[in-house]
Chain A
């Protein structure tokens, strides 16, 4: 079953997405940007953060009591990106060691759900990829559609 999400405004190529995180106390504009980092190998960096005065800030802790909804929305943007860019690879990392562990925990939670459609890799500091292992620390993560 599809998870609830916020309404998303997306660019036609699904590289840019904006949505609003809404609580009773504040509204925060969020941005998810798939930014090309390696033309040759079709690798795009996933940048996710709060949009403030035109700047994407990745280190904010919003604490808007809607983490599950925000997470569902970000996952939806990943699906939208791959619908239009099926040959590409997405790479992402946390803005801190702690946040990287959160990403690892999220992937670990969803790995059995996404394993049929996606290949997920952990990348170490030297740039070596391996199939994602739940308990292992990685420098970054890569995801692409299974062929």
Chain B
């Protein structure tokens, strides 16, 4: 079902996420790098909290 929002130029589609999409190889590598970065950041914050 489609619904054009007050935002001109945008159509919100209720079942858009039913589309099957996957990350390409480089996108997956980038995703892994970001997850690792976020984990490093969280560890850093926890270490700071302990000090």
Contacts and interface: CB of A to CB of B under 8 A. Distances in A.
B30 A58 contact: yes
Contacts of B34: 37, 45, 91, 93, 140
Contacts of A16: 16-17, 19, 21
Interface in A64-106: 76, 80, 91, 93, 95
B37 to A, nearest CB: 5
Interface residues of A, number: 43
Contact of B38 (A6, A43, A59): A43
Interface residues of B, number: 30
Nearest to A124: B37
B50 interface: no
Contacts of A45: 31, 34
Interface stretch (A20-28, A46-54, A112-120): A46-54
A6 B37 CA distance: 32
A104 B12 CA distance: 30
B26 A12 contact: no
B6 to A, nearest CB: 10
A10 B11 contact: yes
A55 B23 contact: yes
A43 B16 CA distance: 22
A54 B21 contact: yes
B2 to A, nearest CB: 8
B16 A47 contact: no
Interface of A: 5-12, 15-16, 18, 31, 33, 35, 37-38, 40-41, 43, 45, 47, 49, 51-52, 54-59, 76, 80, 91, 93, 95, 123, 125-129, 139-140
A-B pairs with lowest CB-CB distance, top 6: A127-B41, A127-B40, A57-B24, A11-B16, A59-B26, A55-B24
